[in-house]
Amino acid sequence: MTDPIPVAVPRKGRPLEAVLERIAAVSDDDRLDRLADSVSNTLRYEKAVTKGAVDADGGPYERLAEYSDPETPAEPEFTLLRDDRSGKPRRIVFDAATVDLGDVRVKLVGREEPFRALRTHEFALGFDSADLVLEEVVGIRAAGLGNISDINDRIDPVDTDVRVVTGLGDTVYHTLMGREDDRAPGAAFDREYLADYEGPLCISPRYERLVTAVLGTDALDGVEFVYPDANEEEEAAIARVGLGVYLTVTGSTAREHGLSVGEHLFPSETVLMRNAAETDESVSRVLRALEREAADSEIRV
């Protein structure tokens, strides 16, 4: 039997859940549904343990031994990492699982930074957040961008060989929002509004390059980025400043702060990526396996 084709995936969180759900959706094997549920439930529980929301029955090594089955490739393996939280607690995260997509066998390999693993040619295929691509390699231009399909046109081929193949649709949006009282009747907080706006725009510091790429330098002429104070909620900071960009799902908490939710600027979703310089037939086989199921699973390859 040939070796499985390695694919880099996130170790935890919403992006990993999106990958597992998509893998299950493109296969007729019910075991992959159980794999997705098992891994997601385990990691949600471990997140709660790390945050102190629940007390674990055993120590991390006992739980790790209980979760992992390294002798059975189709069963998931987990590993321990040091978390960034205060005290550097040990956190159990996804490590690997081998799955069959029709006649293609794939090994999902957990990585802290799948996108960077593709950039260094450690993997030819991988999944990661579209945000990281914007934060690291998407070029800044006068005009902004608003769709996953626009990303590749903004990547300098000299900078990286990685290209986005498709988004998985686990969409949370970077959204423009502002104080309800500051909005004129009939007006909306959208790109057109921002083009005429001069003043502070509250964002998370880590998203400065992303927001610049999404909005474009023309729209940001006369705009000054400001940031939440230490320990200040981002939506509360936006309400204090008057206008800002926030990663939001429903906007319900924004309205609690007196904010009006405006235009969805860019989808923060998990994307499938490939390193275009890696041309081995195995890469094409995996992509064809996904394309074969695209009609049913709405993959945009």
What mean pLDDT do residues 143-149 have?
Answer: 92
pLDDT band at 155, cuts 50/70/90? very high
- On the question of pLDDT at 296 being above 60, the answer is no
Lowest-pLDDT range of 66-80, 192-206, 269-283: 66-80
Q: Domain residue spans in the chain?
A: 5-168+270-290, 172-268
Distance from chain centroid for Cα 296:
23
How many Å apart are CA 138 and CA 125, to the nearest integer?
A: 19
Lowest-pLDDT range of 52-56, 140-144, 157-161, 184-188: 184-188
How many Å apart are CA 140 and CA 154, to the nearest integer?
A: 8
Sequence-separated (6 or more) residues with CB below 8 Å from residue 238: 177, 178, 202, 244, 246, 254, 257, 259
- Amino acid letter, 189: F
pLDDT, residue 301, reads: 39
- For the chain, how many helices (H) and strands (E)? 11, 12
pLDDT, residue 49, reads: 87
User: Is residue 83 classed as helix, strand or coil in its secondary structure?
Assistant: coil
**What is the 8-class DSSP label of residue 269?**
-
What mean pLDDT value characterizes the chain? 88
pLDDT, residue 177, reads: 94
What mean pLDDT do residues 91-109 have?
Answer: 90
> In percent, how much of the chain has pLDDT > 90?
57
| Contact by Cβ (8 Å): 208, 134 | no
- On the question of pLDDT at 288 being above 50, the answer is yes
What mean pLDDT do residues 168-176 have?
Answer: 91
Considering only CA atoms, which of 86, 105, 118, 154 is closest in space to residue 9?
A: 118
What mean pLDDT do residues 276-280 have?
Answer: 87
What are the residue ranges of helices labelled H in the chain?
Answer: 13-25, 30-51, 60-67, 114-119, 130-136, 191-195, 208-215, 234-241, 252-256, 281-292, 294-297
pLDDT, residue 85, reads: 60
SS (H, E, C) 133-171: HHHHCECCCCCCCCCHHHCHHHECCCCCCEEEEEECCCC
pLDDT, residue 209, reads: 95
**236-268 pLDDT per residue, tens:** 999 999 999 998 766 778 888 889 999 999 999
Q: Which residue has the higher pLDDT, 124 or 250?
A: 124
With 0-12 / 13-18 / 19 or more C-beta atoms within 10 angstroms meaning exposed / middle / buried, residue 198 is exposed
Considering only CA atoms, which of 104, 212, 114, 213 is closest in space to residue 164?
A: 114
How many Å apart are CA 104 and CA 60, to the nearest integer?
A: 34
How many Å apart are CA 242 and CA 262, to the nearest integer?
A: 13
pLDDT, residue 297, reads: 40
pLDDT, residue 118, reads: 96
pLDDT, residue 1, reads: 55
pLDDT band at 191, cuts 50/70/90? very high
What mean pLDDT do residues 151-178 have?
Answer: 92
What mean pLDDT do residues 67-91 have?
Answer: 77
- The model carries a pTM of 0.88
pLDDT, residue 291, reads: 63
pLDDT band at 103, cuts 50/70/90? confident
- On the question of pLDDT at 294 being above 60, the answer is no
pLDDT, residue 186, reads: 74
CATH architecture of 172-268: 3-Layer(aba) Sandwich (3.40)
Cα distances (angstroms) measured from residue 35 to each of 75, 139, 207, 272, 283: 7, 38, 33, 20, 23
Token pair belonging to 245? 């960009």
**25-69 pLDDT per residue, tens:** 887 778 888 999 999 999 999 989 888 888 888 888 899 989 987
pLDDT band at 198, cuts 50/70/90? very high
